[in-house]
Every structure is written in C-alpha cells, then in structure tokens.
Amino acid sequence: MKKTGMLLGALLAATTAVAPAWAQQQTASTAAVPATNAATAAATQDFGRLSDDGNTAFEELMLARRAIFDGDLKGAKTLITSAQQALDRARADNTAFQKAEAELMPVKTKQAQTAKKGTGSTTPVAWLPIDGELVLDETVEPTTEKSAAVAAANRHLRAGDPDRASEVLKVSGVDADYVIAAVPLEQTRQDVNRAAEFIKNDPYKASEALRDAENSVRYASVDIQAVSHQQAASGNTSK
C-alpha cells in the first residue's frame, strides 16, 4: 500500500499555500485563522490520512473476485470474510470524510471533473480514502524532468520524508496534484456483505457484487504548488 496519505498533512504544512480542488468547508477551529491557513487545514482534514484497513479491504475484494474467476471459491470466501473484517475496522479509524459523489471525480483527471460536474448524488456520504499519490498538474506540459521530479517526490513521501518531497517540487518548479482514491464506506460494506452471502450458492452474483464495489471508486485532488507560485508573484510585485 502507498502510505503517502499518512504524510500529506506534513507535506501541506511544508508548502507555502494549498488550494484544495473541492474542500471548501471550514470548521470552528479554522474559522478564525487566515484564509490560506484555513484552506490548508481544510485540505489536511480531508486528505491527511489514508485508511490502511480500507486499502487492505479493497485489495482483498479484488483478489476475491480474481479467485472466483479462477474457480477458487474457498479462497474467495476467505478473502471476502477478511475484507468484511477490514471494513469494520475502517469504520472506526477516523479517516472517512463526508462528500457528495457529485463533488468527486470518476477518474483521476481534473478535466473529467469538469466534464462530469453535477453528475452523481448530491447527498453527502462517508468516503473511505484507500490510496493516494502525487501527479503532474494537467495544466503543465509534461517533460521528462518534471515527470521525474514528481516520481522523486512520491518516493520521498513513501519513505516518510514529506519535507524532502515538498522541497523537490519547489526546487523543480513543478505544479503537482495530490490525488486520492476513495470508496463510499457503507455502500462498499453492503457490496462485500452481499458477496459473502452469494459466494455460498451463486459465485457469479458474488463476483458482480465485488465488481460494484470496484466500480464505486472516485477521486479527489489538492493542488500542492500552483497557488504558491501565484502568491510568490504577487509578493514580488508588492515589493
């Protein structure tokens, strides 16, 4: 599992500003702080941690579906049971965040977010963050050097060094997005529970239930660098 989300709070704190793509709420604890700090706090609240158990559960349900395809129903049943237990633990790990599906992206790109704006449910539900990574901002023309910088920053995050990851982005002048993958917690639990029932007598329906869980993944992103550049330019103008 990529544990970059565990380190994101430190990465955001290491950058001079953060503009969340969709996290606009302020809690009582952030209402009294400057706008930049409030945005950082809101982004950290939504993205600061990934769910280890959620990630484990999702990997197991994918493996269970593969086991069904291979005819290993005993193995699939064991994996489904393990996924159920991991999701039960994930309910209590305080990583889930409240968002409406319409506020999230069906794929990792920002362009898809614009194209799909207004689609999906507008009712907030609990989303379980299961994975995350830094990606090159879509507005930036990709080059070998910029792609290498983002890859290096991701390696530093996974190694537990968010300060170094932030420094790589700053020195390289690279605009990056931190993209997380999330699943609707209760819906995923229901899908896996259905699979647990169907695996006893109808493996095909069990596989369909697991496929529904896989297809429920949605994405969200925080812009790590772009606002910093804008503020830096603004600051230079004022001097």
Q: What is the pLDDT of residues 114-159, one digit of tens each?
A: 545 546 788 999 999 998 888 887 777 888 988 899 999 888 877 7
The burial class, CB within 10 Å (0-12 / 13-18 / 19+), for 200 is exposed
Residue 109 within a domain = yes
Residue 174 pLDDT: 83
Of the candidates 148, 98, 86, 104, the residue with the CA atom closest to the CA atom of residue 127:
98
CA dist., res. 172 & res. 166, Å (int)? 10
CA dist., res. 176 & res. 15, Å (int)? 12
Distances (CA, A) of 55 to 62, 121, 122, 176, 234: 11, 24, 25, 23, 41
Q: Classify the C-alpha dihedral 1-161-181-172 as positive or negative.
A: negative
Q: Classify the C-alpha dihedral 158-110-174-14 as positive or negative.
A: negative
Can you say whether residue 183 is alpha, beta or left, with left for phi > 0 and alpha for psi between -120 and 50 degrees?
beta
Distances (CA, A) of 37 to 22, 58, 91, 146: 16, 33, 29, 27
Residue 17 within a domain = no
- Whichever domain contains 167, its CATH number is 1.20.120.1940
Residue 230 within a domain = no
Instruction: Determine the structural domain holding residue 207 and report its residue range.
Output: 36-219
The model's confidence at residue 200, banded by pLDDT at 50, 70 and 90, is very high
The predicted-structure confidence for 56-96, as pLDDT tens digits, reads as follows 999 999 999 999 999 999 999 999 999 999 999 999 998 99
CA dist., res. 239 & res. 234, Å (int)? 9
Residue 147 within a domain = yes
Residue 224 within a domain = no
What are the E-state strand segments in the chain? 19-20, 97-99, 125-136, 176-184, 218-223
| Cβ neighbours, 10 Å, residue 47 | 27
Residue 72 within a domain = yes
CA dist., res. 13 & res. 5, Å (int)? 13
Mean pLDDT of 167-182: 85
Residue 78 within a domain = yes
Residue 20 within a domain = no
The model's confidence at residue 177, banded by pLDDT at 50, 70 and 90, is confident
> Angle, nearest 10°, between helix axes 203-215 and 52-69?
140
Taking a C-beta distance cutoff of 8 angstroms, is the pair 11, 34 a contact? no
Structural domain total, the chain? 1
